[in-house]
C-alpha cells in the first residue's frame, strides 16, 4: 500500500499552503532525510523531508499549486516490493481521520526543523477538511476549515451552500457570499439571550466592487501572509479586551550611553565595528527586564489557567514584503545588548528571505512594534496572541520639558502599552511601564 505524503501544518494557524516546487521527480528513489519539496506558508518557506524509504511513485499536487489544505495528499511513495507504476492518484479528499493530528499516524513525510508547539501557543490541531454540516450524520459535505468556522459563527447551514472549490468543496468565498445574501435574523425575544453572538454581515467581493467604477482599480490577489494577518487581526480585536497605557521616556542618558558603547566596540579584521547597538536593542532589553521585575505582567491567558513565564521572550515586529513577522528574542533578560543586536540582525535578514523556523516566531511573552523610524509620534498596536501585551514605540524627538522647576529641552519618546485585560490589570500594566521607563532613563542598569 503506498505511503501518503501529506501537506504539513507548519504553524498553529496554518490551514493551507503553497507547494512551491518538488525537489524529487516521479520514479526517483528516496531515503529518510531526503528533501522532497518546498512548502510556502504565510510566514516562511520550509522543506518537507522523507521519513521512509521507497520510490516517489506519484506527484498528486504539482509544483506551483496554491492554497493546498493541510493534510491533503500531495504525493505517494511506493514501498518495498510495490510497483510504482501501479500507484494511482487519489480521487477524493483525505478521510477526516487523517486530520486528527498534524503529524499523521501512518508513515508519511515530515517537515525539516519543525519543533513542538510552545505550551503557550494555540493548539496545532487542525479541523478536518471534510465535515458534515453542524456535526450531524448524513451525506458528507466538503468544506474548508475556514468556511466551516465562518458558517458556524454565522449560523449558516453548510448543506445549503453550493461549493465552488475543487470537487464542489465549500470554501470561504462561498460562505461569505451566502452570508451577504442571508436575510436579517429576527430580533431576540424579550427576556431571552441569544445562544451565540451574531457577527455583522460581511459584504461580498462583488458588493464591494460595485462601489467603484469599472476600470478604476487594479486587483492584486492576497497572498497567504496577508490573508493570515487579516484573519488573526480580526480574531485578536474581537476576542481580546484591549486597554492602552501611554508614558513618555527621556532618552538623553540612553543616547549618550549608546554612543559610548558603539565607540568602544571592538573592530574586525576590516576595521569595522563588530556590533552597533540600536535604540531598539535597548528597548528590547528594558522591556525584558521590566517583565522580570513585574512578574504579574509576564503572563499568558488560557481559559483554564494563567501561564506565568520564567523568562521574558520578547518578539520584535519586522516588516517584510506583504506584511510583517515577529521573531522572538528568547530569555532576552539574560542577554547582552550586543547579543540582542546580533540576533535581531540575523532574524531580520532571514525574515525577509522567509527562512525563519516556526519556533523562532511562535509564542513569546510580549512584543515590540517600533514605528519611530518613520516619524510616528505615538500609536496603539494590536496584541499578537498568545501574548498578553505589546509595546508600541514612537519616535525620539526634542521636546520642551520642565526639569528641576525650569524649562529644558530633552530627547523624549512616547510609548503605548496594549494589554489583554483578562491577564493584565491596569495597575499591573502601569507598574510594567514604570519599570520600563526607569530602565530606559537609567540605562546603565541594563549593563549590570
H/E segment holding residue 178 = helix 172-181
Grid cell for residue 284: 528590547
Output the nine-digit C-alpha cell for 189. 425575544
Choosing from 222, 242, 309, 421, the catalytic residue is 421
The residue with cell 458558517 is 151
Asked if residues 86 and 79 have their Cβ atoms less than 8 Å apart, the reply is no
Q: What are phi and psi of 347, to 5 degrees?
A: -60, -45
Name residue, grid cell 470554501: 171
Taking alpha carbons only, the member of 253, 264, 267, 257 closest to residue 403 is 253
Task: Give the single-character DSSP code of 61.
Answer: S
SS3 state at 54: strand
Cell matching residue 264: 568602544
99: exposed, middle or buried (C-beta count within 10 Å: 0-12, 13-18, 19+)?
buried
Q: From residue 289, how far is each of 120, 161, 200, 344 by CA, in Å?
A: 20, 53, 42, 18
Q: How far is CA 100 from the centre of its chain?
A: 22
Q: How many helices (H) and strands (E) does the chain have?
A: 8, 21
Per residue, what are the HEC states of 344-362? HHHHHHHHHCCCCCHHHCC
- Whether residue 421 lies in the annotated active site: yes
- Residue 184 gets which letter from DSSP? P
Preceding peptide of 386 cis, ω within 30°: yes
Residue for cell digits 510583517?
A: 324
Please give the Cα distance from 422 to 428 (Å, whole number). Answer: 12
Residues serving a catalytic function are 421
Amino acid at each position: 500500500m503506498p505511503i501518503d505524503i501529506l501537506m504539513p501544518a507548519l504553524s498553529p494557524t496554518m490551514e493551507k499552503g503553497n507547494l512551491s516546487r518538488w525537489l524529487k521527480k516521479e520514479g526517483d528513489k528516496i531515503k529518510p532525510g531526503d528533501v522532497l519539496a518546498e512548502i510556502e506558508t504565510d510566514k516562511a518557506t520550509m522543506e518537507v523531508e522523507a521519513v521512509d524509504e521507497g520510490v516517489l511513485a506519484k506527484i498528486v499536487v504539482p509544483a506551483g499549486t496554491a492554497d493546498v489544505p493541510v493534510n491533503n495528499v500531495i504525493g505517494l511513495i511506493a514501498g518495498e516490493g510495490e510497483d510504482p507504476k501501479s500507484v494511482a492518484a487519489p480521487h477524493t479528499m483525505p478521510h477526516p481521520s487523517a486530520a486528527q493530528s498534524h503529524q499523521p499516524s501512518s508513515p508519511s513525510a515530515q517537515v525539516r526543523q519543525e519543533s513542538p508547539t510552545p505550551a503557550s501557543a494555540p493548539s496545532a490541531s487542525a479541523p478536518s477538511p471534510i465535515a458534515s454540516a453542524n456535526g450531524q450524520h448524513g451525506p458528507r459535505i466538503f468544506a474548508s476549515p475556514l468556511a466551516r468556522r465562518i458558517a458556524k459563527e454565522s449560523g449558516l447551514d453548510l448543506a445549503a451552500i453550493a461549493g465552488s472549490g475543487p470537487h464542489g468543496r465549500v470554501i470561504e468565498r462561498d460562505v461569505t457570499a451566502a452570508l451577504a445574501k442571508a436575510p436579517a435574523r429576527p430580533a431576540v425575544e424579550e427576556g431571552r439571550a441569544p445562544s451565540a453572538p451574531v457577527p455583522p454581515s460581511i459584504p461580498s467581493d462583488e458588493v464591494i466592487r460595485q462601489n467603484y467604477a469599472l476600470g478604476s482599480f487594479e486587483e492584486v490577489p492576497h497572498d497567504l501572509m496577508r490573508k493570515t494577518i487579516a484573519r488573526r487581526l480580526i480574531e485578536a480585536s474581537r476576542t481580546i479586551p484591549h486597554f492602552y497605557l501611554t508614558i513618555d521616556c527621556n532618552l538623553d542618558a540612553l543616547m549618550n550611553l549608546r554612543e559610548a558603547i558603539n565607540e568602544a566596540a571592538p573592530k574586525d579584521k576590516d576595521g569595522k565595528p563588530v556590533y552597533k547597538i540600536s535604540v531598539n536593542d535597548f528597548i528590547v532589553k528594558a522591556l525584558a527586564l521590566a517583565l522580570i521585575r513585574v512578574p504579574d505582567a509576564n503572563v499568558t491567558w488560557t481559559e483554564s489557567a494563567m501561564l506565568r513565564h520564567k523568562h521574558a521572550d520578547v518578539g520584535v515586529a519586522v516588516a517584510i514584503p506583504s506584511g510583517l513577522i515577529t521573531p522572538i528574542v528568547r530569555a532576552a533578560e539574560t542577554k547582552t545588548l550586543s547579543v540582542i543586536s546580533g540576533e535581531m540582525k540575523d532574524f531580520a535578514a532571514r525574515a525577509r528571505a522567509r527562512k525563519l523556523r516556526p519556533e523562532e516566531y511562535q509564542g513569546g511573552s510580549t512584543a515590540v512594534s517600533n514605528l519611530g523610524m518613520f516619524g510616528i509620534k505615538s500609536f496603539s498596536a494590536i496584541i499578537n496572541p498568545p501574548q498578553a501585551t505589546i509595546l508600541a514605540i514612537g519616535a525620539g524627538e526634542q521636546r520642551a520639558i520642565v526639569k528641576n522647576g525650569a524649562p529644558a529641552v530633552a530627547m523624549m519618546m512616547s510609548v503605548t502599552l496594549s494589554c489583554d485585560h483578562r491577564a493584565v490589570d491596569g495597575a499591573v500594566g502601569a507598574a510594567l511601564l514604570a519599570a520600563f521607563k526607569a530602565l530606559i532613563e537609567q540605562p546603565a542598569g541594563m549593563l549590570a
